Every structure is written in C-alpha cells, then in structure tokens.
Amino acid sequence: MPLQPTRFELSVPQDAIDDLRFRLGRTRFPDEAPDSGWSHGADLTFMRDLAAYWREQFDWRAAEARLNAFPQYKVDLAGIGLHFLHVPGQGPDPHPLLLSHGWPGSVFEFLNLIPRLADPGRFGGDPADAFTVIAPSLPGFGLSFAPHQPRFSAEAMADCLASLMTDVLGYTRFGAQGGDWGSFIAARLGHAYPDRISGIHLNFLPLRRDAELVAEPTPEEARYLQELAHFLREEAGYQAIQGTRPQTLAYGLTDSPAGLAAWITEKFRAWSDCLGNLETAISRDDLLANISLYWFTGAINSSFWPYYARAHGPWPVPEGETVDVPTGYAAFPREILRPPRSLVARTFTDIRRWTSFERGGHFAALEQPDALAADIRAFFRLCRSVR
C-alpha cells in the first residue's frame, strides 16, 4: 500500500520566537579589523543592523503565512518525516516537476517561483506550460529534519526524492530542477533513474573540480580553471569545515542566532548579483525568513552533512560516467562557478538548451524568478512530451 502523506501547516511556538528575540538582544558581537568591511567575512556594522531588525521588526508570522499559503505535506520516508509542497498546475496537462533547493537555502527560495511554474497564465505565459510543482525540504534540512535522524548525502537525497515522486505520489515520469545541491540531486536523478526523468534543468553545474583533467585547455576553459582555482583558494573555507568538522561548527550556530545569521548571510551576499549591496538582489525579509527556518528547526548541523559525505565519498555522478537525459542550463553571470559548455558536455551528453542572462547569481529563484521560470518552461517544452 502506498505511503500516505498528511497535510502540514507550519506554526512555530510563540515561546520559540520570544527566545530568539531574547538571544538576539544578548548577542556579544566580535571586534573587527580596521576598515575591513566584508573582506574578512560578515561585516560588523551590517550584522549589528541585521540582528536589530531581526529582533525588533522582522515578522516571522508573515513569512510563515506565505509558506502556509501553499499546500504542504509530510510523509514518513527513508527514516525521516519528509516535508514537501505539492502545488497543482493550472493548465490542460501539467507536467510534474521536482524543485530542489540547496545550502544555505530552503523552500522559502521558491515562493515567488512556484506560482510562475504552476500557473503561467497568471503571469502572461501559456497555460500549456504549467507544472504540478513538488518542492521538498531536502532530507535533513528545515522541516525535513528531526534530531538524531539519519544523515543524507546527495545520492541518498536523490533516492529519497525519487521514492517520493514515484512510490508516494505515483508519478512515473517527471522533470527535475535545481541549483546548488539541487543541481547535484537533479543530475543524480538523471544518472540513476533515467527511465523516470523527462529532463533536468539546472542553474548550477555540478562538475567534478579536478583541474588536471583538462590537459590542453581552450581560452574559455583556462578562464574557468582560473575561476575555479580562486574559488578553491579564497571561497571554499566553509566547505572545508562543514566537510570535516561539522559537529564542532554546529555548537556555535545552533546556540547563537547572530552567529547563524553571519554564517549564512555572508554566502547570500558573496553569491548573489548584488554588487556589494545584498538588498538590491535579495530582500532583508526573504533573507531572514530563510535564516529563521534554520534557527527554528535546529537543522544547521544536519544541513552540513552533504559536504561531509562528498568530502569522504565519491562524486554523485561517478568518474567516467555520464548523465544522458535531456538537460537545460540557465547561466546567470554571478554564479559561483561558470564552467564552459565544452567541459559540461563531457558529463551531460544531451544539452538541449543553454541560456545566458544579463543579471542574476546563485540564488536565481529569489533574484530572478521571472527569468528562471521562463527558461524552465522553455526547456521542458522541448522534452515534456516524452512520458
């Protein structure tokens, strides 16, 4: 008998909200090197202002209501209570689409994107492009977390979500879309479950990071290898600690909301197309809704696990193997890494759409929901008829 999801509505106890505000009011901020700004990490002035806003003005209940406006469910799967949004498409033949977020994101990233996919006619699009959208909290993240439950690698997440789509919801053929860890999950689904996948659409490219694999790079490949070397040298410190000593880091981030906010906010600023001013790309309320979900669920430690699993195990698409399902890529200019098509095609053998955009970064669903939704719809128009 198929597993039966139960309806879910988020309601954080008021005493948890009060405790958050109390802790924010008791924050002991660090000092800062003179004139350092963001060059050494999260800027002190910005973080003082953000903590004050979080404590005194941010409306968690409004954020909660935005999430609760979508139909949500939980189901016992793979040893956890898996949380997911399941939004019916408004069109003649909605195609099921799995949306997967990443770190340090959550389902809050998708609240502007989902309506543009489920009801394109409402936004000037063609109802024939509608999707029924399934957007889970990744296993071990947010509302799919409980203390001392199993940990999940990207491969285990893909297996869990494949089971959700087919064994629980009954979809024999579906599309998958994602950025960050969501792109690893989509790629893994295309590799491990090609008979179920109509296509995968990515806004981040999950390629192996072995520079020595490119013996005689083209100029474009050389540009990427320089970009990769800079990222690994200057921007990957979080991966090193999350991938080796996640438990130690979790004590500070689970106990201090200001510490949690600094750890996450620095990544939103560094990875978005904000030109140094985060709120030109992502609103303060959207940022804090996401951070608050990590805080209230206590899921930060479990959310580190994919980094640990990747550091101590194989790449989700094994070396020398390929992803052969139809693939689309939305190339946003401020993405963390931007490998050229010549390298991508070594792993993804059926690239049907590659679109470059003028604005946008790593958090495309938050930064550019109209552009991302339009590209997803255009890509699946090429392959959704294959059921």
The pLDDT tens digits for 217-259 are 899 999 999 999 999 999 999 999 999 999 999 999 999 999 9
CA distance 209 to 232: 9
Query: pLDDT averaged over the chain?
Result: 96
Amino acid at 314: P
Q: Is 307 a catalytic residue?
A: yes
CATH architecture for residues 6-26+41-208+242-381: 3-Layer(aba) Sandwich (3.40)
Q: Is 362 a catalytic residue?
A: yes
pLDDT over 90 percentage in the chain: 94
CB-CB contact of 209 with 243 (8 Å): no
Q: Is 167 a catalytic residue?
A: no
**DSSP result, 28-65:** ------TT-TTTTSS-HHHHHHHHHHHHHT--HHHHHH
pLDDT at res. 319: 87
115: tokens are 């309506």
Provide the whole-model pTM. Answer: 0.96
State the catalytic residue, choosing from 286, 307, 329, 375.
307
CA distance 206 to 347: 10
State the catalytic residue, choosing from 180, 273, 286, 375.
180
Domains in the chain: boundaries: 6-26+41-208+242-381
Residues 6+ apart with CB under 8 A from 226: none
Peptide bond into 104 cis (omega under 30): yes
pLDDT at res. 210: 74
Asked whether the predicted pLDDT for residue 292 surpasses 80, the reply is yes
CA distance 367 to 356: 15
CB count, 10 Å around CB of 147? 9
Mean pLDDT across 21-32:
97
